[in-house]
A and B are shown apart, each in its own frame.
Chain A
Amino acid sequence: SQQGEEDPQALSIQEGENATMNCSYKTSINNLQWYRQNSGRGLVHLILIRSNEREKHSGRLRVTLDTSKKSSSLLITASRAADTASYFCATVFSGGYNKLIFGAGTRLAVHP
């Protein structure tokens, strides 16, 4: 079974707009990671945020983590058509073997 849920399931925007995806999870975590998957390809790591961090930036990406609400958000600013992909959050539990527990993902379509 999967850890949590992502919202929305699908998102369609125009180039230049911002895209926000949300992720909720159920149990305590060590860290939360966001991955991107292009159709027919493997997952590419985007950003990792530790449980004691609240916000992290990487280029056009901004991730927030609220452990009290067990939720995270991924913001992509100034989106491009090349950002079209599925985005997954994944959690890592304390004391485990670093296995990733994924949500169902958000499918983002950015139109030129």
Chain B
Amino acid sequence: GAGVSQSPRYKVAKRGQDVALRCDPISGHVSLFWYQQALGQGPEFLTYFQNEAQLDKSGLPSDRFFAERPEGSVSTLKIQRTQQEDSAVYLCASSLIAGTRGNQPQHFGDGTRLSIL
């Protein structure tokens, strides 16, 4: 079966432009996560969806960042008025079951590498 798919793989934008990053999770996966990974660092949590509900957005760095998952499958991460510090790899991950015990792996896409000029 297909894994988590992210598009585009690379995105270059000028400072101040808006960007939209797409994530197609594994079919049937309830949980969807977005992470931001700076060069040479580990990923950092941005936001979490359980089906279409955004239950945790505590990691979003500013109100310029917005995520949605309107039908509980595909998700979009939007960054408005991009800044140079937004340059990073944005990773999406999904897992099968929702729940608070976390005893299950997350399946990651290959990420979108965003460069802000």
Contact = CB atoms under 8 A, between A and B. Distances in A.
Interface string A71-103: 000000000000000001010111111111111
A97 B56 contact: yes
A105 to B, nearest CB: 5
Given A2-B41, A98-B31, A99-B45, A31 B102 contact: yes
A10 B93 CA distance: 26
Interface core residue of B48, B106, B110 (most chain A CB under 10 Å)? B106
Contacts of B50: 97
Contact of A88 (B33, B42, B95, B103): B42
Given A33-B105, A104-B42, A99 B33 contact: yes
Interface of B: prevailing SS: loop
B26 interface: no
A95 B100 contact: yes
Given A42-B4, A42-B110, A31 B44 contact: no
A72 to B, nearest CB: 14
Interface in B79-102: 91, 93, 95, 99-102
21 contacts: A2-B41, A2-B42, A30-B101, A30-B103, A31-B103, A35-B108, A41-B110, A42-B108, A42-B109, A43-B91, A45-B106, A93-B102, A98-B95, A98-B99, A98-B100, A99-B45, A100-B33, A103-B42, A104-B40, A104-B41, A104-B42
